[in-house]
Amino acid sequence: SLTFWLHRAWQAEFNLAKQINTILNQQITPLPISIPENLNPQQVKAINVANNNAFSIITGGPGTGKTYTVAQLVIALQQAAESGGDKDKSIRFSTDSASLALAAPTGKAAQRMQESLQAAIDAADIDIQLQEAKTIHRLLGIGRTGKPRYDANNPLGEDIIIVDEASMLGVELANYLVSAVKPGARLILLGDANQLAAVDAGAVLADLCRIPRLQPIHVELTESKRFSADSGIGKLAYQINKAEADTQAIWQLLRQDEALNFQYVNMLQATMHTLSKDKIKNSLSNNKIISEISENYSNYLEKIKVLLGNPIEKSMPESVKGTITSLTQTFNQFRVLTAGHNGEWGDHYINNYLTQWHLTELKLPLGQNTWFHGRPIMVLQNNYELGLFNGDIGFCLQTSDDRSRLEVFFENKTQGIAVNLLNEEVIATAYAMTIHKSQGSEFGHVAITFDNSHARLLSKELIYTAVTRAKNQVTIYSTKHALEKAVQTPTERHTGLALQF
């Protein structure tokens, strides 16, 4: 068969493969590391592979301990360096905290990565203060011109570069990243190769995991702490992930497993289909379904009602932090994930409906102002001045008895941000969000909504990503045709990366 590239795409793939091969051929000195006994064999292997190679890939589904494993690697390398095991002085932990770079494709993923790594390191009672995790664009100094400040001629100074959520990497950004790694440094990619690929061209992580030459430096973690392989969610994720999805097995799981539900969003199809009525419900109307969805947010709304009568104590930072942490935990018990923005089952419509429900329940004025007490919001664009990142979730709260005194509070921040400082164009209500936006998050119960109008957006990676955001329960609101099409449609990314090795 013939393969055609646009020159820019071919150049990026060629350079990426060339740089990876260069890194693979570099000899680095493994450190005499001590590995904790509580790790499973896959995690031990991952740490050894990363210690012994300049380039390594650690993949695994949600909750398999990728970040925790890397935290143990960082601890082991630091301890080896401090004890004098690093005779070549190739790791500078003890003298230069900038020797370790943490990065991810998005600001939210970078923030989450840093928090998770730091928590794992602190839990081990090890004194390592991590540098701020950055977006890959910030790490490489990519500005408005689109060209990186750091490249092969001006490489990054760090000795270890760890990149999380690598499934989001497109070919061009991956090329820039790999080109900027200095000789002798370690590059470690983390991610779930079965998740949604990058919005940009290419499916770099999935491609790299399939290349025979790279198998020795690739370790896959399979033991999930979020849900077990034999749980309903684990079984559903496995069935969706299979090369040839077994729709009969999927329907059987949805019919029988207590953690899984399917509800038709089309009354005609629901009455025609013969699956058990107690498990796969018939819908009388789509508005009735959304009304049922709103009931899953009742715990959140109860807390919002309490804060309406007893406004948040702005003058007490620890009280603010505790309140927002509690609110976040309650809000994360449930989330609506949509295939796209538009249509009756897109996040725009669902958020509008749930906003009206919210205002009615709290007896607040309808439709007079975008900002209102209890509005959950998502940040859609990084704002470094305010310390906000794309994907951050916040809560708009009244700070006094005056309904016009509104501020937005975010987890891990002790002060609110006045609503007039936030650009409404890069803020969205967050009762429902797209599956793309949910990557890296986890919720107790996930409702997944899509129908035939989302046909061109549907893929098995999309549904797998949505299902694996849930810890306890998954409800799918869709049509038979849309679900079967989704699980039988792999994302087609015809890249030539494998041909370069």
List C-alpha distances in Å: 457 to 24, 337, 363: 36, 14, 37
Question: Concatenated DSSP letters for 373-440?
Answer: TT-EEEE-S-BTTTTB-TT-EEEEEE-SSSTT-EEEEETT-SS-EEGGGS-GGGEEE-SEEETGGGTT
pLDDT at 3: 66
Tokens 């959520």 sit on residue = 165
What is the crossing angle of helices 460-467 and 480-487, to 10°?
100
Contact 130, 114 (CB under 8 A): yes
Residue type at position 371: W
3-class secondary-structure state, position 475: strand
Tally of CB atoms within 10 A around 28: 18
Q: Which domains does the chain have, with CATH numbers?
A: 7-226 (3.40.50.300), 232-268+281-366+431-488 (3.40.50.300)
pLDDT at 267: 45
User: What's 212's DSSP letter?
Assistant: G
User: Which of these, 63, 465, 337, lies nearest to 227 by C-alpha position?
Assistant: 63
d(CA 475, CA 261) in angstroms, rounded, equals: 5
Successive 10-residue mean pLDDT values, the chain, 501 residues: 69 86 88 86 94 94 86 86 61 56 86 86 81 88 84 92 90 91 93 74 80 92 75 90 88 92 68 43 62 93 93 82 93 96 90 93 80 94 82 91 84 87 93 90 94 88 92 93 91 68 68
d(CA 150, CA 266) in angstroms, rounded, equals: 53
Contact 299, 443 (CB under 8 A): no
d(CA 389, CA 387) in angstroms, rounded, equals: 7
3-class secondary-structure state, position 334: strand
pLDDT at 268: 43
Residues 6+ apart with CB under 8 A from 7: none
CA geometry: angle at 247 spanning 494 and 266, to 5°?
A: 100
3-class secondary-structure state, position 260: strand
Residue 448's φ and ψ, nearest 5 degrees, are -110, 125
Contact 451, 266 (CB under 8 A): yes
d(CA 477, CA 290) in angstroms, rounded, equals: 10
d(CA 162, CA 166) in angstroms, rounded, equals: 10
pLDDT at 95: 39
pLDDT at 281: 47
Residues 6+ apart with CB under 8 A from 28: 52, 53, 54, 90, 184, 186
Give me Rg for the CA atoms of the chain.
Answer: 24
Please state the three-class secondary structure of 32-88 as a single string: CCCCCCCCCHHHHHHHHHHHHCCEEEEEECCCCCHHHHHHHHHHHHHHHHHCCCCCC
Q: How far apart are the first and last CA of the chain?
A: 18
d(CA 228, CA 420) in angstroms, rounded, equals: 45
Contact 80, 140 (CB under 8 A): no
